[in-house]
C-alpha cells in the first residue's frame, strides 16, 4: 500500500507541464532507438537475401538428442526439439532448486550450531562453494570427478541398486500396474489431512487441545496409498539395468539412466547455490529477536514448538526474498549446460538447432522469451508465497 | 507485477534489436575492405591437424590455412597478411554473416541448405571427404554395420550429426549421440571412455587420432557413410569476392596440373607454353577480370605453392595425419580435382 501511494504522488508530480516535455522527449528517443535498430536489421537481412520467420519450427530436425523426457528423434520437428530442451532445462532447475534448498537449510542451521566442528565445517563449505566460479565447479564435477569413474564393464555396483560408471548412473525402474489407485490413495489422504487440520484448529481454539497434525499426516500418507494399492491390486515390477555385450563394447540397457552431463550440472548447481541459500537462512534466523524465543519459553513452549511456531515463520520473511533471487540465478545458470554438452534449451535449441537452421534471430528471441517466462513464473510463485507469510499489519 | 513485465519487455526489445544490428556489414566491397585493412580475416577451425591448427608459437598450418594465405597473396601480394579466427562449428556461419571474417576456410561441408538457406556461397571444394567412425581396438569391431547400442561422440551443428542419425536409422541400429560444441571436447570425451565411438569426416578422424593418448589403440572403420565436399565459404552478396576466392583455389589446382611449383615458378616465367604463361599472368588479363593485379596468380604459386604441394605438406602420407590423395588427386591421375580453364 505504501509503495502504491508513493507511486501515485510521484506520477501526479510528473504530470505537471514543466516535467512533461523532457519525459515526452525521452519516450520519443527510446522508440527512435528501437525503430533504428529494427529497421537496420530488416534492411540488412533483405540485402543478404536472408529469409526469416518461424516456419522452420514445423520442419523435421534431422538430429537426435541423447537425453529426452519425451519421445523425440530426428524425424520430430524443431518445435519438438525446443520442447525437449525446455523440459531438460526445467528438469535440471527443479532438481537443482530441490537439493540446493535442502542442503542450504541444513548448512545454514549448522552455521549457527554451538558445536565447534559443525559450525566451522559449514563455514568452510559456504566459503568454498560460493567463492569458486560456477563454471569451474561444473568442469570439476564433469571432467575431474565423473570422468575418473570406472568403465562400463568394471562398474561400481552398490547394493544391486545403483550402478556407477563413466557413462552414467543407472538405477532400477519401478513400473506400477494399476497405478491410478495410488493416485486415488494420495488424493484421499490429502482430503483427510485437510479435514484433520480443520478439526485440529477448532480443537485448539475452542478446547485448547493440541493435536499432532504433522505426525498423523505422515502416518496417513503412507497408510492410505498402501491400503488403496492392496484394494486395487497394484503390483510393482522392477526393471533392473542389464549389462549387454556387443563384441567388445559393454552397455547397460533398461532401468533409469542418469547421464554424467546431467549429474555434473545438478551437483554443481545445487552445491553452489546452497552456499548462498545457507547464508540467507542464517541471516533469517539471526534476524529473529532473541526476546521472541525467550517469550516463547516463558509461555511454556517447548523447543520444537518455539522453533516451528515462533522462530521459523518470522525467519522465513527474511529468507524468502533473497532465496527467490537464488532460485532465479540457478535456473539461468543452468544454461551453462552448453559447456559440457547437456542438451538443455541453450545447448540443444539455441546451439544445435540454431546452427542447423541458421535462424539466429528467431531462435535467440524464442529462447530469451522462454527464460524470461520461466523466471517471471518463479518469482510470481515466490512473491505469492512471500505475501502469504508476510507480516499482516493491523 | 505489471510494472516489472513492461520494463522487462522494453529491455528485451532493446537487446533483440542489438542482435539484429550485428548483421550490418557492407555488401559488395569485401575486396576493398581487405585492401584498406591491409590484411585478410580468415575463419578457421579451433584445431584440426592438417586442415587448420596452430602450433605452440601460434603459427597456423594446414590446407585451409594455405588457402587463406593464397587469397592474401592474390589480393595483397603477401601471404602472411592473414588474421586467423578460430571458430566452433556452431558459430562459424553467424560470424561470417556478421562480417567479422572475410572468408571461412574451416573444413566445411557444401550442402544445398547452407548454400541457399544461409545466404552464403561455397566457392569450391578443397578436400573431398566422407564421414567415418573411429573405435577402440579393444572393442573388437571391424565394421560400422556391427555398431549397435553404442554411445557416439560428435560435434554439434555439423552435417556429421545429421548423417549419423541417417546412418543408424537406415541400418536399424541403436545409438546415443553425445554432442559437444568443440571437436577437441568430443575427442577428449571419446578418449576418456565417455563414448564408444567417435565420428567425423575421415580426414578429421585421422587428424584427431593423433590427439588421443595412445593413437595405436584406435582404429578407423572402413565404411564411408556420406559425401563431404569440404570447401571455403563467403557471403552470398559479393560476386567479385566469390570470384576472387573461387579462382584462387582453381589456380592452385591448375598449377599442379601444369607442373608449376613454388620452386620452379621463376624459371617457368621464361617458358613458351601459352597455358603456363596465361596462368602466371604473362599473357591475357586474368587479374583485370577479378579487379586484381596481373601478378595475383604468380604470387599465389610463389608464396604458397600448388594444391599438391599444400596437400603433401599438411595431410599427405609423410605427415602425422597420413592421408593418401584418393579422390583428391587430379582428374588426369584418377582423382576428381578439376579446375575450369584459367583463361
Q: What CA–CA distance (Å, rounded) separates A359 from A78?
A: 11
**Residue (of B140, B298, B67) closest to A248 by Cα position:** B140
Q: What CA–CA distance (Å, rounded) separates A93 from A270?
A: 9
CA distance A37 to chain B (A): 5
Grid cell listed for A66: 541423447
Kind plus residue range of the DSSP H or E element containing B298? helix B296-303
| Alpha helix positions (H), A240-359 | 260-287, 290-298, 303-305, 312-333, 354-357
Top CATH class, A58-132+262-389: mainly alpha
Mutate to test the interface with B, among A88, A247, A328, A374 (most CBs of B within 10 A): A247
Q: What CA–CA distance (Å, rounded) separates A315 from A330?
A: 22
Phi-psi region of B82 (alpha: psi -120 to 50; beta: other; left: phi over 0): beta
Q: For residue A1, what pLDDT is reported?
A: 44
**Residue (of B298, B300, B293, B284) closest to B249 by Cα position:** B300
Burial class (CB in 10 A: 0-12, 13-18, 19+), A164: middle
At residue A8 the predicted structure's pLDDT band, cuts being 50, 70 and 90, is low
Are A122 and A104 in contact, with CB atoms under 8 Å apart? no
The domain made up of B30-128+229-333 is a member of CATH 3.40.190.10 = yes
At residue A357 the predicted structure's pLDDT band, cuts being 50, 70 and 90, is confident
pLDDT in tens, A105-139: 999 999 988 899 999 999 999 999 999 999 999 99
Which residues 214-243 of B have a C-beta within 8 angstroms of A? Answer: 235-237
Residues 6+ apart with CB under 8 A from A93: A330, A331, A334, A374
Q: Give the torsion sign (CA, B338, B339, B340, B343).
A: negative
At residue B7 the predicted structure's pLDDT band, cuts being 50, 70 and 90, is very low
At residue B23 the predicted structure's pLDDT band, cuts being 50, 70 and 90, is very low
Q: Say whether pLDDT at A253 is over 80.
A: yes
Q: What CA–CA distance (Å, rounded) separates B82 from A159?
A: 61
Kind plus residue range of the DSSP H or E element containing B275? helix B274-279
Q: For residue B101, what pLDDT is reported?
A: 96
C-alpha distances out from residue B146 to A75, B175, B305, Å: 23, 12, 43
Neighbours of B285 (CB within 10 A): 10
Are A110 and A280 in contact, with CB atoms under 8 Å apart? no
Which positions in chain B touch A4 (Cβ < 8 Å)? none
pLDDT in tens, B187-215: 999 999 999 999 999 989 998 998 999 99
Q: What CA–CA distance (Å, rounded) separates A73 from A66?
A: 9
Judged by DSSP in three states, A97 sits in helix
Q: What percent of chain A has pLDDT over 90?
A: 47
Beta bridge partners of A175: A237
Are B262 and B305 in contact, with CB atoms under 8 Å apart? yes
Neighbours of A375 (CB within 10 A): 16
**Rounded to 5, what percent of chain A is helix, strand, coil?**
70, 10, 20
**Residue (of A326, A332, A337, A334) closest to A372 by Cα position:** A332
Q: What CA–CA distance (Å, rounded) separates B13 from A33?
A: 11
At residue A14 the predicted structure's pLDDT band, cuts being 50, 70 and 90, is low
In which residue are the cell numbers 550490418 written?
B24
Which residues 22-61 of B have a C-beta within 8 angstroms of A? Answer: 23-25, 27
Q: What CA–CA distance (Å, rounded) separates A74 from A290?
A: 62
Which positions in chain B touch A261 (Cβ < 8 Å)? 178
Q: Where are the domains of chain A?
A: 2-47, 58-132+262-389, 180-232
Q: For residue B265, what pLDDT is reported?
A: 94
CATH topology agreement for domains B30-128+229-333 and B131-226 = yes
Are A162 and A169 in contact, with CB atoms under 8 Å apart? yes
**Residue (of B144, B190, B186) closest to A247 by Cα position:** B144
Q: Return mean pLDDT, chain A.
A: 88
Q: Where are the domains of chain B?
A: 30-128+229-333, 131-226
Are A76 and A60 in contact, with CB atoms under 8 Å apart? yes
Grid cell listed for B297: 596468380
Q: What percent of chain B has pLDDT over 90?
A: 75
Residue in B27, B179, B237 nearest the CB of A341 = B179
Helices then strands, each counted (H, E), chain A: 13, 8
Q: What CA–CA distance (Å, rounded) separates B192 from B177?
A: 16
Which positions in chain B touch A360 (Cβ < 8 Å)? 19, 94
Kind plus residue range of the DSSP H or E element containing A132? none
**Residue (of B158, B121, B119) closest to B233 by Cα position:** B121
Q: What would the mean pLDDT of A308-319 be, rounded to a whole number?
A: 88
Q: Say whether pLDDT at A69 is over 60.
A: yes
Q: Say whether pLDDT at B4 is over 80.
A: no
- Chain B's closest residue to A249, CA to CA, is B139
Q: What CA–CA distance (Å, rounded) separates A320 from A328?
A: 12
Q: For residue A10, what pLDDT is reported?
A: 64
Q: What CA–CA distance (Å, rounded) separates B119 from B117?
A: 6
Which residues 114-173 of B have a C-beta within 8 angstroms of A? Answer: 114, 117-119, 135-136, 138-141, 146, 148-151, 156-157, 161-162, 164-166, 169
Q: For residue A308, what pLDDT is reported?
A: 82
User: Is B89 an 8 Å CB contact of chain A?
Assistant: yes
Domain B131-226: which CATH number of 3.65.10.10, 3.40.1350.10, 3.40.605.10, 3.40.190.10:
3.40.190.10
CA distance B237 to chain A (A): 6
Grid cell listed for B171: 541400418
Residue in A48, A147, A166 nearest the CB of B119 = A48
Q: For residue B304, what pLDDT is reported?
A: 96
Q: For residue B10, what pLDDT is reported?
A: 46
Count of residues making up chain B: 343
pLDDT in tens, B49-90: 999 999 999 999 999 999 999 999 999 999 999 999 999 988
**E strands, chain A, where?**
156-158, 162-165, 168-171, 173-177, 235-239, 242-246, 249-253, 256-258
pLDDT in tens, A270-309: 999 999 999 999 999 999 988 998 999 999 998 888 888 8
Q: For residue A91, what pLDDT is reported?
A: 96
Q: Say whether pLDDT at B17 is over 60.
A: no
In which residue are the cell numbers 620452379 written?
B264
Q: For residue A13, what pLDDT is reported?
A: 65
Judged by DSSP in three states, B150 sits in strand
Are B175 and B151 in contact, with CB atoms under 8 Å apart? yes
Predicted TM-score of the model (pTM): 0.80
Q: What CA–CA distance (Å, rounded) separates A366 from A227?
A: 47
Per-residue DSSP letter, B337: B
Judged by DSSP in three states, A120 sits in helix
A37-51 burial: b if 16+ Cβ within 10 Å, else e: beeebeebbebbebe
B235–A246 C-beta distance less than 8 A = no
Mutate to test the interface with B, among A11, A44, A242, A347 (most CBs of B within 10 A): A44
In which residue are the cell numbers 552431463 written?
A261
Model ipTM value? 0.79
B117–A358 C-beta distance less than 8 A = yes
Q: What CA–CA distance (Å, rounded) separates B173 from B95?
A: 36
Q: Say whether pLDDT at B5 is over 50.
A: no
Amino acid at each position: 500500500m505504501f509503495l502504491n501511494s508513493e507511486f501515485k504522488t510521484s506520477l501526479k508530480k510528473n504530470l505537471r507541464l514543466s516535467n512533461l516535455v523532457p519525459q515526452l522527449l525521452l519516450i520519443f528517443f527510446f522508440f527512435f532507438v528501437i525503430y533504428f535498430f529494427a529497421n537496420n536489421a530488416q534492411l540488412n537481412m533483405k540485402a543478404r537475401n536472408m529469409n526469416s520467420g518461424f516456419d522452420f519450427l514445423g520442419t523435421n530436425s534431422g538430429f537426435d538428442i541423447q537425453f529426452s523426457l519425451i519421445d523425440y528423434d530426428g524425424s520430430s520437428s524443431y518445435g519438438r526439439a525446443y520442447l525437449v530442451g525446455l523440459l531438460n532445462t526445467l528438469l535440471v532447475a527443479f532438481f537443482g532448486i530441490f537439493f540446493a534448498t535442502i542442503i542450504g537449510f541444513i548448512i545454514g542451521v549448522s552455521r549457527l550450531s554451538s558445536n565447534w566442528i559443525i559450525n566451522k565445517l559449514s563455514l568452510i563449505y559456504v566459503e568454498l562453494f560460493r567463492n569458486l566460479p560456477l563454471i569451474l565447479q561444473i568442469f570439476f564435477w564433469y571432467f575431474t570427478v565423473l570422468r575418473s569413474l570406472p568403465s562400463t564393464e568394471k562398474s561400481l555396483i552398490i547394493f544391486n541398486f545403483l550402478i556407477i560408471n563413466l557413462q552414467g548412473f543407472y538405477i532400477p525402474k519401478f513400473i506400477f500396474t494399476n497405478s491410478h489407485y495410488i493416485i486415488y490413495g494420495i488424493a484421499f489422504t490429502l482430503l483427510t489431512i485437510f479435514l484433520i487440520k480443520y478439526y485440529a484448529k477448532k480443537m485448539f481454539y475452542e478446547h485448547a487441545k493440541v493435536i499432532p497434525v504433522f505426525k498423523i499426516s505422515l502416518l496417513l500418507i503412507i497408510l492410505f496409498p498402501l491400503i488403496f494399492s492392496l484394494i486395487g491390486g497394484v503390483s510393482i515390477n522392477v526393471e533392473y539395468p542389464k549389462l549387454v555385450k556387443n563384441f567388445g563394447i559393454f552397455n547397460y540397457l533398461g532401468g533409469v539412466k542418469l547421464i554424467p552431463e546431467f549429474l555434473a550440472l545438478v551437483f554443481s548447481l545445487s552445491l553452489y547455490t546452497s552456499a548462498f541459500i545457507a547464508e540467507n537462512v542464517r541471516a533469517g534466523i539471526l534476524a529473529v529477536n532473541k526476546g521472541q524465543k525467550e517469550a516463547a519459553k516463558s509461555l511454556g513452549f517447548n523447543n520444537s514448538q518455539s522453533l516451528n511456531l515462533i522462530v521459523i515463520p518470522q525467519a522465513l520473511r527474511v529468507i524468502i526474498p533473497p532465496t527467490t533471487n537464488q532460485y532465479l540465478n540457478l535456473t539461468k545458470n543452468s544454461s551453462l549446460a552448453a559447456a559440457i554438452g547437456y542438451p538443455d534449451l541453450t545447448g540443444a535449441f539455441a546451439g544445435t538447432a540454431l546452427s542447423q537452421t541458421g535462424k539466429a534471430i528467431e531462435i535467440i528471441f524464442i529462447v530469451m522469451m522462454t527464460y524470461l517466462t520461466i523466471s517471471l513464473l518463479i518469482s510470481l510463485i515466490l512473491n505469492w508465497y512471500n505475501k502469504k507469510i508476510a507480516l499482516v499489519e493491523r | 507485477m505489471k510494472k516489472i513485465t513492461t520494463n522487462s519487455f522494453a529491455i528485451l526489445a532493446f537487446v533483440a534489436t542489438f542482435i539484429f544490428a550485428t548483421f550490418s556489414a557492407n555488401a559488395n566491397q569485401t575486396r576493398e575492405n581487405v585492401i584498406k585493412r591491409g590484411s585478410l580475416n580468415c575463419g578457421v577451425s579451433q584445431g584440426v591437424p592438417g586442415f587448420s591448427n596452430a602450433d605452440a608459437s601460434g603459427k597456423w598450418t594446414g590446407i585451409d590455412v594455405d588457402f587463406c594465405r593464397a587469397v592474401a597473396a592474390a589480393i595483397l601480394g603477401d601471404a602472411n597478411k592473414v588474421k586467423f579466427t578460430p571458430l566452433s562449428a556452431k558459430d562459424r556461419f553467424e560470424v561470417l554473416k556478421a562480417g567479422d571474417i572475410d572468408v571461412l576456410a574451416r573444413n566445411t561441408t557444401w550442402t544445398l541448405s547452407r548454400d541457399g538457406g544461409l545466404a552464403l556461397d561455397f566457392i569450391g571444394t578443397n578436400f573431398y571427404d566422407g564421414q567415418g567412425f573411429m573405435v577402440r581396438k579393444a572393442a573388437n569391431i571391424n565394421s560400422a554395420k556391427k555398431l549397435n547400442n553404442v554411445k557416439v561422440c560428435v560435434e554439434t551443428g555439423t552435417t556429421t550429426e545429421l548423417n549419423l542419425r541417417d546412418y543408424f536409422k537406415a541400418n536399424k541400429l541403436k545409438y546415443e549421440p553425445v554432442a559437444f560444441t568443440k571437436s577437441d571436447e568430443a575427442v577428449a570425451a571419446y578418449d576418456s571412455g565417455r563414448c564408444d565411438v567417435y565420428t567425423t569426416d575421415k580426414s578429421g578422424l585421422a587428424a584427431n587420432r593423433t590427439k588421443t593418448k595412445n593413437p595405436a589403440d584406435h582404429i578407423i572403420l572402413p565404411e564411408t557413410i556420406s559425401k563431404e565436399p569440404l570447401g571455403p565459404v563467403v557471403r552470398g552478396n559479393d560476386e567479385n569476392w566469390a570470384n576472387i576466392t573461387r579462382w584462387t583455389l582453381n589456380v592452385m589446382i591448375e598449377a599442379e596440373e601444369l607442373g608449376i611449383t613454388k620452386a620452379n615458378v621463376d624459371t617457368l616465367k621464361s617458358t613458351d607454353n601459352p597455358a603456363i604463361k596465361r596462368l602466371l599472368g604473362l599473357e591475357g588479363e586474368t587479374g583485370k577480370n577479378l579487379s586484381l593485379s596481373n601478378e595475383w596468380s604468380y604470387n599465389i604459386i610463389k608464396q604458397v605453392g600448388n594444391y599438391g604441394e599444400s596437400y603433401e605438406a599438411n595431410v599427405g602420407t609423410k605427415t602425422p595425419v597420413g592421408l593418401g590423395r584418393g579422390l583428391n588427386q587430379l582428374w588426369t591421375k584418377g582423382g576428381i580435382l578439376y579446375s575450369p580453364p584459367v583463361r
